[in-house]
Amino acid sequence: MSFHKKIRRDSEKTLKSFKYGFDGIASAVRSERNMKIHIMIMILVIIAGFLLKITMGEWIACIILFGMVIAGELMNTAIELVVDIIMPYQHEKARRVKDIAAGSVLVSAIAAAVAGFIIFVPKIMALI
Ligand SMILES: Nc1ncnc2c1ncn2[C@@H]1O[C@H](COP(=O)(O)OP(=O)(O)OP(=O)(O)O)[C@@H](O)[C@H]1O
């Protein structure tokens, strides 16, 4: 295979991987109530960030935390689906797997909430 053909085939594969990833995000947003809530909170934080003129460092912290929470929720959704496929019945280990996966989202959501509190509360207090 020529070099150019290989480059074209590799870039088509990469584009397809992006499409599969975006399809996965869209499917999780459609099916998961918590994902909708995370996205709503993210939009509100972005609006508050512009209104309260947060600094570049604060934006970077918010962006990293948005990524952590949403990636965590996607991984949790994928784990829930795998558990539902391989264990459609009640099982102690299935319960633990789902609870631990949910716990990982909770850890990043708490970190995001604490960081949000530290960034936004002083700015809101300064307005009052
Ligand atoms: N197969 C199972 N065996 C034992 N316990 C389970 C099983 N499936 C779910 N559970 C328990 O029920 C809880 C809720 O599971 P479920 O699959 O409904 O997820 P969920 O909390 O609705 O997640 P989400 O809100 O993200 O859809 C789990 O955290 C777990 O404690």
Give this prediction's pTM.
0.90
Can 73 be counted among the known catalytic residues? yes
Measured between alpha carbons, how far apart are the two ends of the chain, in Å?
Answer: 68
Instruction: Please tell me whether 99 is known to bind a ligand.
Output: yes
Question: Ligand 1 mean position to 84 CA, how many Å?
Answer: 9
DSSP tag of 2: -
Protein fold of 32-127: Helix Hairpins (1.10.287)
User: Can you give the residue ranges of every domain in the chain?
Assistant: 32-127
Q: Is 95 in the pocket of ligand 1 (CB under 6 A)?
A: yes
Q: What is the DSSP string of 55-114?
A: -HHHHHHHHHHHHHHHHHHHHHHHHHHHHHHH--S--HHHHHHHHHHHHHHHHHHHHHHH
Rg (CA), the chain: 19
Q: Is 94 in the pocket of ligand 1 (CB under 6 A)?
A: yes
pLDDT tens, per residue, the chain with 128 residues: 788 888 999 999 999 999 999 999 999 999 999 999 999 999 999 999 999 999 999 999 999 999 999 999 999 999 999 999 999 999 999 999 999 999 999 999 999 999 999 999 999 999 98
